[in-house]
């Protein structure tokens, strides 16, 4: 439940009726997770087993005549990492926090490490205007593709059991340097356009400075939401910078994502799909993903199931994985609602990543292998999630 932190009267010289409200809102989610990752046991007290921990400051100013100024400043803080965490690392400076130890046959340094750096973290941030014309925003803005996937996955969100960024669906969450326009909703229909401006130049005062090239991104989205039926679709087109190396310059990648959901009352059923292609000269990419999810409310419970597949059609891994290589996910879960904003959850997922490049993974301190590494993932999460 959102709580208003402060309401401040705006400058009377702007409008006698103008008023700004700033609201603190977000999610805190953490719990215990255990399972097997590519043949290695894994366990942790960690966060985001059900939804993403976030802290947001949302501001709205009524400018009169139906016009509003809006902004959001947010971060995704870590609840479970801080200076007290110790990890074995082969790259940590020796002597400062401990002596060398041997782990899994490899000499390593015992060092202090943390996943958290202050409150810095990825989140949507923007400033914009909303009125009868619709809504326009500038900043780091969530894609419509994320909203489409959210409808397809329902209460699995982007967490355990969803397949988001986990070998099934691609994680096209938000883009920096972007602006967005959303039309008004008419008879359940609305449309959306987002653009992330590219940068073909690279310049720096030293060789170690930040590389400033960016791909050019455009996204078209559409939604129909009326009664028990919701249908959404999005198309992202990404073009690599002109001045990249010949093998990666001007590569155009297209991500098509769609979803449909129908609420039958006793259960809500949703389906989703995502096709990704590019125009790489030698090995153009082609992948297909899909899922079907069911959420059934039973008293204070939400019972959930999700099944998804990913098919690797063609691309640079064709000779290794073979055309038609497939990844699958099966997710189950239950939420027990303690209130409208707080629930405890038990989530589970099982994956077989036959369409995943295992050479990009790090398993037990070494690069994975497409021929010998286990392609199975199993994860169970038990935790608490509360919104505010």
As a whole number of angstroms, the distance between CA 328 and CA 312 comes to: 12
Whole-number pLDDT of residue 115: 41
- List, for residues 79-97, the tens digit of each pLDDT value: 887 554 444 444 444 333 3
CA 125 centroid distance within chain: 15
The count of other CB atoms within 10 Å of the CB of residue 191 is 16
> Domain map of the chain by residue range?
3-82+124-140+149-184+263-387
The pLDDT of 310-328, averaged and rounded, is 79
Of 35-44, 76-85, 254-263, 358-367, minimum mean pLDDT range: 76-85
As a whole number of angstroms, the distance between CA 329 and CA 315 comes to: 22
- List, for residues 276-285, the tens digit of each pLDDT value: 999 987 788 8
Quick check: helix, strand or coil at residue 250?
A: coil
| Per-residue confidence band for 244, with pLDDT thresholds at 50, 70 and 90 | confident
As a whole number of angstroms, the distance between CA 350 and CA 153 comes to: 16
> Among residues 131, 105, 104, which one has the least CA distance to residue 41?
104
User: For residues 239 and 215, is the Cβ–Cβ distance under 8 A?
Assistant: yes
When the pLDDT of each residue in the chain is averaged and rounded to a whole number, the result is 85
In which element (H, E) is residue 139 found? strand 134-142
Q: Read off the tokens for 151.
A: 């409808």
Q: Which letter does DSSP use for residue 374 in this model?
A: -
The count of other CB atoms within 10 Å of the CB of residue 111 is 18
Rg of the chain on CA atoms, in Å: 23
The pLDDT of 359-381, averaged and rounded, is 87
The count of other CB atoms within 10 Å of the CB of residue 284 is 15
Whole-prediction pTM value? 0.85
User: For residues 127 and 290, is the Cβ–Cβ distance under 8 A?
Assistant: no
Whole-number pLDDT of residue 211: 62
Tally of CA atoms within 13 A in the half-sphere of 69 that contains its CB: 11
Return the residue matching tokens 């229909």.
Answer: 189
The count of other CB atoms within 10 Å of the CB of residue 58 is 18
Q: Read off the tokens for 218.
A: 């455009």
As a whole number of angstroms, the distance between CA 28 and CA 380 comes to: 19
- List, for residues 108-150, the tens digit of each pLDDT value: 443 333 344 444 457 999 999 999 999 999 999 999 999 999 9
Task: Identify the residue with better confidence: 36 or 209.
Answer: 36
The H-assigned helical ranges of the chain are 144-153, 318-321
> What is the CATH number assigned to the segment(s) 3-82+124-140+149-184+263-387?
2.40.160.10
CA 67 centroid distance within chain: 31
> Among residues 306, 388, 310, 386, which one has the least CA distance to residue 350?
306
Whole-number pLDDT of residue 209: 60
As a whole number of angstroms, the distance between CA 81 and CA 250 comes to: 40
Looking at the predicted structure, is the pLDDT value of residue 263 above 90? yes
């Amino acid at each position: 439940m959102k709580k208003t932190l402060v309401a401040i009267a705006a400058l009377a010289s702007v409008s006698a009726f103008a008023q700004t409200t700033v609201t603190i809102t977000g999610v805190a989610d953490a719990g215990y997770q255990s399972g097997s990752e590519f043949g290695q046991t894994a366990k942790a007290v960690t966060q985001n087993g059900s939804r993403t921990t976030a802290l947001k400051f949302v501001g709205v100013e009524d400018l009169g005549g139906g016009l509003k100024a809006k902004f959001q400043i947010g971060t995704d803080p870590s609840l479970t990492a801080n200076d007290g965490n110790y990890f074995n690392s082969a790259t940590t400076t020796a002597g400062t926090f401990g002596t060398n130890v041997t782990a899994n046959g490899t000499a390593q340094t015992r060092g202090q490490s943390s996943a958290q750096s202050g409150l810095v973290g990825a989140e949507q941030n923007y400033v914009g205007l909303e009125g009868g014309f619709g809504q326009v925003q500038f900043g780091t803005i969530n894609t419509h593709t994320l909203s489409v996937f959210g409808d397809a996955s329902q209460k699995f969100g982007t967490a355990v059991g969803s397949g988001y960024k986990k070998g099934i669906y691609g994680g096209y969450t938000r883009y920096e340097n972007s602006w967005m326009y959303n039309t008004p909703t008419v008879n359940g229909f609305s449309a959306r356009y987002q653009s992330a401006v590219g940068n073909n130049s690279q310049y720096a005062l030293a060789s170690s400075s930040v590389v400033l090239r960016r791909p050019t991104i455009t996204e078209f989205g559409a939604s129909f939401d009326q009664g028990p039926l919701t249908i959404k679709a999005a198309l992202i087109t990404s073009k690599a910078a002109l001045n990249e190396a010949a093998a990666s310059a001007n590569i155009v990648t297209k991500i098509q994502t769609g979803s449909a959901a129908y609420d039958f009352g006793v259960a809500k059923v949703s389906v989703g799909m995502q096709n990704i292609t590019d125009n790489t000269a030698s090995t153009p990419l082609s992948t297909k993903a899909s899922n079907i999810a069911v959420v059934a409310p039973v008293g204070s419970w939400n019972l959930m199931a999700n099944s998804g597949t990913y098919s690797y059609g063609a691309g640079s891994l064709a000779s290794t994985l073979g055309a038609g290589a497939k990844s699958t996910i099966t997710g189950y879960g239950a939420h027990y609602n303690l209130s409208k904003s707080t629930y405890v959850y038990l989530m589970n997922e099982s994956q077989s990543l036959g369409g995943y490049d295992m050479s990009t993974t790090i398993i037990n301190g070494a690069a994975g292998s497409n021929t010998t590494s286990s392609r199975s993932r199993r994860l169970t999460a038990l935790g608490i999630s509360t919104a505010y």
